[in-house]
A and B are shown apart, each in its own frame.
Chain A
Amino acid sequence: MTTTASPPGGRALPGPAEVAAGEGAATSDRARTGGGPGVTGVRSSRAGELRVVGQALARLDQAEKVAGTTRYAGDFALPGMAHARLVRSPLPSARITRRDASKALALPGALCVLFGEDVPHNTVWVDVPGQTVEVAALKASMEVLATSRVRFHGEPVALVVAESEDVLAEACELVEIDYEELPGVFDPEAALAPGAPEVHDGGNLLGEWRIDRGDCDAAFAGAAVVVEGTYETQLVDHAYLEPEAGVGWLDDHGVLTLRVATQVVEHYRDVARILGLPESRVRVLAPFVGGGFGGKEDMTVEPYVALAVLQTRRPVRMVWSRGESLLARPKRHPVRLAYRTAADREGNILAQEIEILADSGAYAYLSALVLLYSSVHACGPYRVANVRLRARCAYTNNPPTSAFRGFGGMQVVLGYESQMDRVADALGLSRVALRKRNSLSRGDALPVGQVLETEVALAATLDAALAAAGPKPAPSGPGRAVGRGIASNLQSYGRLVWLNDSAAAWVGFQLDGSVTLRCGVPDIGGGQASSLAQIAAEVLGVSMEHITVHFGDSSLTPLAGTTTATRQLLMSGNATYGACSALRDLLLAGVAAELGEPVEGLRLEPGAVVGDGVRVPLAEALVACRRQSVPIEALGTFYGPKGRPVTRDLDATRIFPDFTFGSHVCDLEVDLETGQVVLLRYVAAHDVGRAINPRSVEGQIKGAVAQGLGMALLEEVVVEEGVNLTGGLFQYLVPTATDLPEIEAVVLESGEGMGPFGARGIGEPPIGPPLAAVASALEEATGVRPTTLPFTPERVLACVAASAPARGARP
């Protein structure tokens, strides 16, 4: 069994002596250990003696999930419920010339058909930040239901509501919509060429970012080597197992309530705006979500369910089919990367010149922000003094693109890590050594100007990953070649610092000593709610089973912000930690008042308040608080680190709260005749700061790696001239259990994150390196580096063929 090498509590970072042994390693005098059995090292002072945090406990949500009793958005039904579905554009670019619902409405059981004109505020505005020098936002818009123009295949045009799903299907077919096809543009480069058809008035350039740091020209002129590379990533889908779904109804107060699969309950505000309702009259509930990965970050069914409920005054359910999900929900940006990298003879990276061009598809969504992430992360976890970066994203008539785990920080890993390999090869240096030599350290600045305030354990993650990987395996037979690739990365966690991010959590003791925790966090499968309970259990000295977490309710739980950007542990975790600490202090104060003793002498232990010679059982302590008029509940609000908004020309001392670093090793075997790739083994090591629940952390790492490997080798939404040809999971190739190797997660704990107990975010970071690690391994196996994703057998064979002269005619 090769699940993990880390004991509960994680693996210790090597001590200073060990780290120093690695060439060019950042000296880690602050290295911490999670305190697993037999691990030596210095404990994090913030962590203290941890009882619950750091334990690989079963998650709170798991019992229901494995029992099959969790009710996901689409599992929910209400009496008298109607059903809703969208009629979508079959064309990528067209004018709508006629819409007629009369035949659909004549169908018995059809309840209503809505067009854009029926939506109180049909236009949704999106801020595209930083796009003018004055920091004003550029406003992009899209319609809830298209009225006169469709810009992508699958754009919603009509909303149909019916008594039953059978009637609904028939009614949708009877809605008549005529189109006049318009010229479209299906490639971002073509979109930016003069005279290209305009997807929106005002040109196809949606967003642009630049970095000009140091003197690039001088650096290139003085370099010992300059390596160039271009890389291309594909359109990929989140492909969570749960398609978009939700049920809406009007509650007894007339509040429009939506129980939807979402990562963002705060969309109640957007829904209110669309409907022209006060924000207080819309409520969004997020039940356990069957996977999000960014795909449920933008609204999906929300506005439509809301409209249908208001129109019919009945409960309404909308569930998207897999085909709809693949067709029309925003996906990951295909990106073209062009890198020029300069280095001196010792392997110090002198300069990076980078161009990024991303396909935003037909609507803005979060494209400009995704591109900002690409720009900030584009040089990787390395010190580079001279950087010239030009990043653009363009409108096309392709499916829209938006948030996806890694959020622009992912695609660039393929670029910067391939360049690192190339530099090392050009100089005849070890790829590992080159990475260590150039690794960022605490106090260094990223090319955008942000200074790193916490430990950078990149070298330690490289050593740990390589140690866990062991020797490279031999090929299984003739005609086969084995390759090993390594890749490191950094990925931000927490939202952009000018977004005034905050999260709140409320925690209260019940009189029997059990704890109620309320937090608006949506739980999308990462164990978000359970982690909060684990933090509360630690601080309050109660066991996990005695904590109930109410989450994801925009009206009844304190708002905690989005479950995106690897921010929930940082934000809600800290909010919960704050609330629990405050509650503990209240409890101690109540007991102190009751006993007439100074509060300083008291502490909370599991089940009792304890002091010098006193021990007050929890139940009595709670009664004491009541008698002393001390509350036994507390609200904690955590505000993210703040900073100024950026402008198009990026230069800021702080853009993100902090970053997570990691290194991966991939072993694979190539059938040199068929190009088929077998992944043999995969190791991913990340410094997670502190593993609140090591098994959850490992789960995040393995899951992200699996998605990265899927993107590396299998997945692609195929779009031809704007027509999406990928209609089902039989075509969209999500990796199966036999496509993936045993993935080992190596958890390092520096105790240095900004989350509670020194935790760093880990949800997104491990998704990027697989692209580059696989590319690097394929290069070793075939002799030529693949640069266009996905690395299909066909492309792998092209590498084999390109290197054939070198290896002889026959493998």
Chain B
Amino acid sequence: MLTKPFDYQAVGHLEQACDLLRHHGEAAKVIAGGQSLLPLVNLGLAQPSVVVDISRASGHRGVEVADGSVRLGALLTHARLAADPFLAQAQPLVGAAAARIGNARVRVRGTLGGSLAHSDPAAELPLVMVALGATYELVDPSSTREVKAEEFHAGFLSTVLEPDELVASAVVPALGPGWGWGFQEVSRREGDFALIAIAAVVRLAGGRIAEARIAAGGVADRPLRLAEIEVAVAGLEPAELEDRLRSLLPLPRLAPPSDTNATGTHRAHLAGVLVRRAVGEAAARAEEARA
């Protein structure tokens, strides 16, 4: 048995879980899909003494499309995100990214809230949330608050969540008319965490890029918006992208980390290549949508 003994409590509502977290303090951990928590426990890297299970809590599994935005419940699994037809229509980037997570078994159990809260710097969902400028709804025992994705992810496996706070949902803008999306990732093997992943959405107007949102995963301790690139591509025709983006290499201010899978230098190089591919892909989709 790889797990060490702990107390276990399942809750019916997220708020109950917040109460328990406040009661037990630091020693308590919430579990949703368990696809990040339990590998850590099995490897001896996490050892909660109380586990609060929200995986069977009610609610928070909806995909609500309204007023140009999509609200995604924290308990939606990666598999649901990847397969949901409403989401695919309203904001296809999210499902496409979710489909790239791990393997089928991870996607069956793993949840949106868990992935956001775990805040792996190479994870797909935090990345697309940052790219899309998502807002997270957080709950604690008595209140709720909203935090921008870019502020929420605060460092390597770290967020601004208070110990008794949970992610309840994420709200992303729907993909409006004129917009296209791109998602590019490179990993050592299919299903491994990305060495580098790039998410991009661009809006074409009059044959030129009117607006772009681009974010990178794996380049730092958290997903980063690439604001300088966004500015640099604005006003370009899709055909000009390639040369313009090449001229920007190496990407400014990126110093990705090294690990056993790749050096920082290689990651930085990949980021340059994948930005070009992702933005190109997004522009092509935007053109296609107009045609």
Instruction: State if A and B touch, Cβ cutoff 8 Å.
Output: yes
Binding site for B on A (CB under 8 A): 165-166, 169-170, 321, 323, 673-676, 714, 716, 718, 725-728, 730-731, 733, 735-736, 738-739, 792-794, 797
> Cβ of A793: which chain B residues have Cβ within 8 Å of it?
186, 188, 262, 266
Check B189 against A674 for contact (C-beta < 8 Å). no
Check A725 against B191 for contact (C-beta < 8 Å). no
> Cβ of B4: which chain A residues have Cβ within 8 Å of it?
166, 169-170
* Among A165, A673, A716, contact of B1 (Cβ-Cβ < 8 Å): A165
> Cβ of B265: which chain A residues have Cβ within 8 Å of it?
794
Number of interface residues of B (CB under 8 A): 23
* Given A674-B273, A794-B266, CB of A728 within 8 Å of CB of B43: yes
Cα A166 to Cα B44 with chains together (Å): 13
Check B2 against A166 for contact (C-beta < 8 Å). no
Check B273 against A321 for contact (C-beta < 8 Å). no
Cα A321 to Cα B44 with chains together (Å): 11
* Among B44, B189, B260, B266, contact of A739 (Cβ-Cβ < 8 Å): B189
* B265 nearest CB neighbor, chain A only: A794
Q: Among B1, B260, B265, B273, which residue has the most Cβ atoms of chain A within 10 A?
A: B260
* Given A169-B4, A323-B43, CB of A736 within 8 Å of CB of B263: no
Check A733 against B192 for contact (C-beta < 8 Å). yes
* A810 nearest CB neighbor, chain B only: B246
Cα A541 to Cα B272 with chains together (Å): 68
Does B5 sit within 8 A of A, measured CB to CB?
A: yes
Check B43 against A714 for contact (C-beta < 8 Å). no
> Cβ of A726: which chain B residues have Cβ within 8 Å of it?
260
Interface 1/0 per residue, B41-61 and A, CB below 8 Å: 001100000000000000000
* Among B2, B186, B192, contact of A321 (Cβ-Cβ < 8 Å): B2
> Cβ of B43: which chain A residues have Cβ within 8 Å of it?
323, 727-728
Q: Among A170, A676, A726, which residue has the most Cβ atoms of chain B within 10 A?
A: A676
> Cβ of B26: which chain A residues have Cβ within 8 Å of it?
none
Does B147 sit within 8 A of A, measured CB to CB?
A: no
User: Could you tell me the distance in whole angstroms from the C-beta of A728 to the nearest C-beta in chain B?
Assistant: 6
* A321 nearest CB neighbor, chain B only: B2
7 further interface pairs, Cβ-Cβ under 8 Å (given A714-B188, A793-B262): A321-B2, A718-B260, A727-B43, A736-B190, A739-B189, A792-B188, A794-B266
A-side interface mostly: loop
Check B1 against A797 for contact (C-beta < 8 Å). no
> Cβ of A728: which chain B residues have Cβ within 8 Å of it?
43
> Cβ of A714: which chain B residues have Cβ within 8 Å of it?
188-189
B255-291 interface with A by 8 A CB criterion: 260-263, 265-266, 269-270, 273-274
Return the 8 tightest CB-CB contacts between A and B, nearest first: A165-B1, A794-B266, A718-B260, A738-B190, A673-B273, A736-B189, A733-B188, A739-B189
* Among A165, A727, A735, contact of B189 (Cβ-Cβ < 8 Å): A735
Check B266 against A797 for contact (C-beta < 8 Å). yes
User: Could you tell me the distance in whole angstroms from the C-beta of A151 to the nearest C-beta in chain B?
Assistant: 23
* Among A165, A166, A735, A794, contact of B263 (Cβ-Cβ < 8 Å): A794
User: Could you tell me the distance in whole angstroms from the C-beta of B233 to the nearest C-beta in chain A?
Assistant: 19
Does B176 sit within 8 A of A, measured CB to CB?
A: no
* B190 nearest CB neighbor, chain A only: A738
B-side interface mostly: loop
> Cβ of B192: which chain A residues have Cβ within 8 Å of it?
730, 733
7 pairs, CB–CB < 8 Å, chain A vs chain B:
A169-B1, A321-B2, A736-B189, A736-B190, A793-B186, A793-B262, A797-B266
Cα A279 to Cα B170 with chains together (Å): 67
> Cβ of B39: which chain A residues have Cβ within 8 Å of it?
730
User: Could you tell me the distance in whole angstroms from the C-beta of B62 to the nearest C-beta in chain A?
Assistant: 32
User: Could you tell me the distance in whole angstroms from the C-beta of A719 to the nearest C-beta in chain B?
Assistant: 10
* Given A169-B4, A674-B273, A733-B189, CB of A725 within 8 Å of CB of B263: no
> Cβ of A673: which chain B residues have Cβ within 8 Å of it?
273
Cα A506 to Cα B210 with chains together (Å): 82
> Cβ of A170: which chain B residues have Cβ within 8 Å of it?
4
Check A166 against B5 for contact (C-beta < 8 Å). yes
Cα A599 to Cα B169 with chains together (Å): 87
User: Could you tell me the distance in whole angstroms from the C-beta of A327 to the nearest C-beta in chain B?
Assistant: 12
Check A725 against B260 for contact (C-beta < 8 Å). yes
User: Could you tell me the distance in whole angstroms from the C-beta of A358 to the nearest C-beta in chain B?
Assistant: 22
Check B260 against A676 for contact (C-beta < 8 Å). no
> Cβ of B266: which chain A residues have Cβ within 8 Å of it?
675, 793-794, 797
Check A674 against B270 for contact (C-beta < 8 Å). yes
Check B269 against A797 for contact (C-beta < 8 Å). yes
Cα A165 to Cα B4 with chains together (Å): 9
Check B186 against A674 for contact (C-beta < 8 Å). yes
Cα A578 to Cα B266 with chains together (Å): 59
* B42 nearest CB neighbor, chain A only: A321
* Among B2, B260, B263, contact of A731 (Cβ-Cβ < 8 Å): B260
* B246 nearest CB neighbor, chain A only: A810
Cα A726 to Cα B260 with chains together (Å): 8
User: Could you tell me the distance in whole angstroms from the C-beta of B269 to the nearest C-beta in chain A?
Assistant: 7
Cα A674 to Cα B4 with chains together (Å): 42
> Cβ of B190: which chain A residues have Cβ within 8 Å of it?
736, 738-739
* A734 nearest CB neighbor, chain B only: B189
B176-199 interface with A by 8 A CB criterion: 186, 188-192
Cα A718 to Cα B260 with chains together (Å): 7
Check A736 against B191 for contact (C-beta < 8 Å). yes
Q: Among A674, A714, A727, A728, which residue has the most Cβ atoms of chain B within 10 A?
A: A674
Cα A321 to Cα B260 with chains together (Å): 21
Cα A794 to Cα B260 with chains together (Å): 12
Cα A718 to Cα B261 with chains together (Å): 10
Cα A33 to Cα B127 with chains together (Å): 59
User: Could you tell me the distance in whole angstroms from the C-beta of A503 to the nearest C-beta in chain B?
Assistant: 39
User: Could you tell me the distance in whole angstroms from the C-beta of B25 to the nearest C-beta in chain A?
Assistant: 22
> Cβ of B270: which chain A residues have Cβ within 8 Å of it?
674
> Cβ of B188: which chain A residues have Cβ within 8 Å of it?
714, 733, 792-793
> Cβ of A794: which chain B residues have Cβ within 8 Å of it?
262-263, 265-266
User: Could you tell me the distance in whole angstroms from the C-beta of A100 to the nearest C-beta in chain B?
Assistant: 22
Cα A36 to Cα B77 with chains together (Å): 53
Cα A92 to Cα B263 with chains together (Å): 24
Cα A422 to Cα B274 with chains together (Å): 35
Cα A718 to Cα B262 with chains together (Å): 12
User: Could you tell me the distance in whole angstroms from the C-beta of B193 to the nearest C-beta in chain A?
Assistant: 8
> Cβ of A727: which chain B residues have Cβ within 8 Å of it?
43
Cα A738 to Cα B100 with chains together (Å): 14
> Cβ of A739: which chain B residues have Cβ within 8 Å of it?
189-190
> Cβ of A675: which chain B residues have Cβ within 8 Å of it?
266
User: Could you tell me the distance in whole angstroms from the C-beta of B100 to the nearest C-beta in chain A?
Assistant: 13
User: Could you tell me the distance in whole angstroms from the C-beta of B273 to the nearest C-beta in chain A?
Assistant: 5
> Cβ of A725: which chain B residues have Cβ within 8 Å of it?
260
Check A676 against B269 for contact (C-beta < 8 Å). no
* A725 nearest CB neighbor, chain B only: B260
> Cβ of A166: which chain B residues have Cβ within 8 Å of it?
1, 4-5
